[in-house]
Amino acid sequence: MHRDSLPAHRRYTRLSGSSDALALSRLASSEKPLALISATALDAQRLVDELAWFSPELRVCLLPDWETLPYDQFSPHQDLVSERLATLYRIQRGEFDVAAVPAPTALVRLCPPAYIAGRTFSLKTGEKSNWPSRATSTSPRW
């Protein structure tokens, strides 16, 4: 398996308040794409909001946490599942400048990119669709 070599690491220290988002927005304006791993989901959401304020032209996406534990008897909320799939689809297609991921979320194993690409479609309001052909083309092959 071939992996791209990682660029030199950058370290920013003693940033307070929103200065971390400002530094990241300046970094993202010159180096794209940028992967941002935060300590918590709240930090990731804060940075996404602040990056949108400092640099509205940046395409920032957030991979949200499942907000469930592995042994919970219920599934994650449908909105979270939809947002995660939309974010993974954007990342796979390269339609982002900054991808923010909380560290606990980054540790969870993901399905292969080909699985997402083969089972994702976009439907817009007012668009006419032929559901039977879509259902057969996106149904899983067991």
Angstrom distance (rounded) from CA 45 to CA 101: 9
Q: Are the C-beta atoms of residues 24 and 60 closer than 8 Å to each other?
A: no
Q: What is the pLDDT of residue 127?
A: 81
Angstrom distance (rounded) from CA 116 to CA 138: 10
State whether CATH 1.10.730.10 applies to domain 19-138: no
pLDDT, tens digit (0-9, with 9 covering 90-100), for 20-61: 999 999 999 888 899 999 999 999 999 999 999 999 999 999
Q: What is the pLDDT of residue 55?
A: 95
Q: What is the mean pLDDT of residues 94-121?
A: 88
Whether residue 62 has pLDDT greater than 60: yes
Q: What is the pLDDT of residue 142?
A: 43
Angstrom distance (rounded) from CA 52 to CA 72: 34
Cα-Cα-Cα-Cα dihedral of 40, 42, 47, 50, to 10°? -170
- Kind and range of the H or E element at 21? helix 19-30
Which residue spans within the chain are E strands per DSSP? 34-38, 60-62, 98-102
In the structure encoding, which two tokens stand for residue 84, read together?
């995660």
Angstrom distance (rounded) from CA 21 to CA 27: 10
What is the pLDDT confidence band of residue 99, given thresholds at 50, 70 and 90? Answer: very high
In the β-sheet with 34-38, what is the strand arrangement from edge to edge? 34-38, 98-102, 60-62
Burial 9-28 (b: 16+ CB within 10 A, else e): eeeeeeeeebebbbebbeeb
Q: Is this prediction's pTM over 0.95?
A: no
Q: Are the C-beta atoms of residues 55 and 25 closer than 8 Å to each other?
A: yes
